[in-house]
Structure 1
Amino acid sequence: MPPVDARVDADTLEAELEWLAHVIELRLHHYFHDKAPGSPPLPGTLAPPPSLRPGAGPYAAALQRHGFDAAERLLMILALAPQLRPQLLDVLATQNATTQRPYTEFGAHVGPGGAMLPTVETGCFLLAGDDLARRFEALQRLSPQQRLARDGLLHTETPASPEAGGLLQSLLAPSPAFLAEALPGPALPAPPDRTALATRVQTGLRWEDLVLPATTLGQLEDIHLWLAHGQRLLHDWGFGRRTGRGHVSLFHGPSGTGKTLSACLIGERCGREVHRVDLSLVVSKYIGETEKNLSRLFDAAERGGWILFFDEADALFGKRTSVSDAHDRYANQEVSYLLQRIEAFDGVVILASNLRHNIDDAFLRRFQSVVQFPLPRPPERLRLWREGIPDAVRPDPALDLTRLAQQHELSGGTIVNVLRYACLRSLARGDGLLRAEDVDEGVRRELLKEGRAL
């Protein structure tokens, strides 16, 4: 890829920012000076945006590649303004003399450090003013079915403040993917994606490193077969008329038994990214926000071909109680919507829970597989002990791994924690020796964490 001409790209962004400033100036002038009773609304067409020249840099190329119209270009540069020229939005903090607070219709949100952050309301105000029909058109631009949200280019997120409202008060933020495409290089580092509902999980281990019973490995192989041949089964063999579009699996078992690791390795084996879903970010107290979050999550997963991993799934799929109030009814609606999206998802969804009986039986019937991850047996524990010791350390001759495997019923994750503790002690001494007493102390500490005695 040829190097980016920073000057050329800066010229493109400068022109876009000047255009945004002009649109804001026109809208505010109309709002404060021409808004007399019976006066016509500001003309429906925006001030024409700057022309985009071929070779004008990555930002111009991204706008042309996505085919943005003027309204979409305005929303995108508005979302970028806090990072490129934050003072440009300060005018939106103008105080209403009657209410002694910023104008509600301007929609700007005060962010950290006092910077003004644009919201959906800000975008609607600039595009439509108080013309209700045009506001509906502006809102449609941000619907999940339209380009900006559908293609993961522009995100909306609810501010983390007690007074935050619904969609109109949601902040506008360019996605990290769009920033990487349109503003490459170190000039503008991508901010943390506060709208991310799932995080990619990876591992440096290999499939051969899995230490699981043969039954569990066989069930994991079934998921691999689905990823390899599921689409042919659905479409070429016509099974799509009889079943859902994807594969839903429940992984259940104690912590540290390999549920997350297995999901990661399935993805790496099949060339798929695995993304762990943060249910605390998906579930919102605002009516309709949970459904919007789930829609955005599954749309992104379908575009990227992700495997979705829902950890602690019993938070949503636990035993249901009788519906006693509106909150219970809304919670059931959320679960129903999630089930609909899972069943319509053209991929693999893995739900993880420590206890199988925490999951409602009505939900279990909708899953294609239920995979148990038991605590390892003594032979498996011995293998975990042996393979977990780094090559850089020498085991103490007094270290009896067979005794440890027979005596202590520990998960693979717990064994890793014990070895980590003992190896750190060795590094602190500088002798490169994995001492038996350090391993025993590590076991004792782990058992105490679990409320068990040595």
Structure 2
Amino acid sequence: MPFKNLKQHIIHQVTSGKQGKAFDFSNTFSEVLNRKIKHEEAIVLLTAMAPHIQPGFFEEIIQILHPDGGEFPQWGGVKHTNYRGFLPTGETVQYILAGKNINKRGLVQKYFSEDHWFFSTQTVLLENVQEGVPKMSGQLIMPAETIDLLLFGEVSLPAFGSQFPAELVATKMAWVDLVLSKETFEQIHQIRLWLKHEKKLRHEYGLDKRLSPGYRALFHGSSGTGKTLTASLLGKEFNMPVYRIDLSQIVSKYIGETEKNLERIFTRAENKNWILFFDEADALFGKRTATKDSHDRYANQGVSYLLQRTENFNGLILLASNFKENIDEAFIRRLNQIIEFPKPEFEDRLALWQKTIPKQLKAKTEILEKIAKEYELTGAQIVNAVSFVCLHFLEHKSKKVEHIQFMEAIKREFKKEERMFTQLP
């Protein structure tokens, strides 16, 4: 890392060439970022990165230039409760790149506009400040993914936490393991086509100006019918991380906090080629109510925020709900796809039993056909039932699975839903 050269260059810049030495940092990180990097852009990246790699980096420079100490507002910089050193701000970059030159200082601000690739790729950001406070006094924020990319040449995925309340979901299964109706598969295939051809559709076919950013789909149907598995398989096929949003960490009783929590996720996911999966989406995307008091008004404002944010997000958003009718109609109108995941019919249930049961159980075909015909279970319930039977099989070292064991397993699934169970003879 060229931090030794950066130190000399900064000293050279702020002393008008009396000390230090000038260096050209053009195309630093060009290979890992897959783009041409201007000298000034490289300075911004290295400045933001320095405290993460060399604590005390800026303190050493200031000590060299100002050995008698004092206050130096031209350097900007902030301190953090968890970090005792100097954290660079936009003002720090302005001073390094432009000194006191007003015109050049104005140009430096453009590096932190929404039009610059720093923002669109979330490579380095300028922290938002309160109204009336100089914009450039915000801290330079370099996400952990950027640091890993610049250091190691690969991007690390964010860990679940309060700052990123979404968990990575994945599967070891394949499309062949998913059992759905033909119509549902055909609708899912449309999403696969979009993921495969979106760039050509927008740029080579010239539809970019006519299409909204991103793609939005609603999966609706009973629990256990394959909604989460489908989201995971889409991510697996196209090498896209799938993040399931934890609504318990998102939804807040405090006014405006839910929107702030969501904005953190959307901002982090922008241009990252991730899939955002909102399970039990009713909690966020539910129908707006008639405004009776201030709480209703703020709740409706939250839905309006989501409408705008999801429409402007340039990736794939998947909503999952047990009931389509619970979703606000304004969201419904903005969806590219609405896909029903119905409970499996007899042939699909039989296929699920056959695909799920291990060969060691040696289950008779006539037994599977009988229970598939008589008992309406979802894919998840069938997996639970097979797991129960397998454990019984292993514990008792059975040579084959009996009819009665299937009955007990299915009875347990019916009891969970308080459904009437009638045992087959």
TM-score interval, normalised by the smaller of the two chains: 0.5 to 0.7
Aligned mate of 1:300, from 233, 248, 272: 272
Residue deviations 1:231-282 (CA, integer Å, cap 9, x gap)? 676677777676646543221011211112223444555x462533526577
| 1:209 partner amino acid | D
1:54, 1:61 within 8 Å by CA — same for their partners in 2? no
Structure 1 position 154, deviation (Å): 3.2
Q: Deviation digits for residues 351-381 of structure 1, max 9, x if unmatched?
A: 2212111112232223233211011123211
Partner of 2:118: 148
Partner of 2:328: 360
Q: Secondary structure at the match of 2:270?
A: helix
Partner of 2:311: 340
Residue 141 of structure 2 corresponds to: 172
**In 1, Cα distance between the equivalents of 2:394 and 2:21?**
62
Aligned partners of 2:124 and 2:140 also within 8 Å: no
Q: How does 1:43-442 map to 2 (within 5 A)?
A: 51=23, 67=37, 69-70=39-40, 73=43, 76-79=46-49, 81-82=51-52, 84-86=53-55, 106-111=77-82, 115-116=83-84, 122-124=88-90, 126-127=92-93, 141-154=111-124, 172-183=141-152, 192=159, 201-227=169-195, 244=212, 247-266=215-234, 271=238, 273=240, 275-278=242-245, 280=247, 285=257, 290-291=262-263, 293-301=265-273, 307-323=275-291, 324-325=293-294, 327-328=298-299, 330-342=301-313, 345=314, 348-391=316-359, 393-395=360-362, 400-427=367-394, 439-442=406-409
Q: Which residue of 1 aligns with 2:72?
A: none
Q: Percent identity?
A: 27
Other structure's SS at 1:108 match: strand
Measure how far apart 1:300 and its partner are. 2.5
1:98 corresponding residue in structure 2 = none
CA contact (8 A) 2:49 2:147 kept: no
Q: How far did residue 201 of structure 1 move?
A: 4.3
How far off its partner does 1:53 sit?
8.6
Aligned residue identity for 1:352: A
Aligned equivalents of 1:53 and 1:232: distance in 2? Answer: 34
How far off its partner does 1:387 sit?
0.7
Q: Which amino acid aligns with 1:250?
A: L
Gaps of 5+ in 1: 1-8, 27-41, 92-104, 159-165
Which residue identity is paired with 2:43? R
SS in 1 for 2:302: helix
Q: Would the aligned equivalents of 1:76 and 1:174 in 2 still touch at CA under 8 Å?
A: no
CA distance in 1, matches of 2:305, 2:156: 36
Q: Does the C-alpha gap of structure 1 residues 317 and 196 become closer, same or farther in structure 2, counting only changes over 3 Å? A: same
How many residue pairs get aligned? The number is 386
Contact 2:219 2:341 in 1 (8 A): yes
| RMSD, matched Cα | 5.1
Contact 1:252 1:371 in 2 (8 A): yes
| TM-score of the pair, normalised by structure 2 | 0.67
Distance 1:189 1:310, change over 3 A: closer
TM-score (norm 1): 0.64
Q: Which amino acid aligns with 1:394?
A: L
In structure 2, the residue matched to 1:34 is: none
CA distance in 2, matches of 1:437, 1:253: 30
Map Cα deviations across residues 11-37 of structure 1 (whole Å, 9 max, x no partner): x35655x669x88xx9xxxxxxxxxxx
SS in structure 1 opposite 2:173?
A: coil
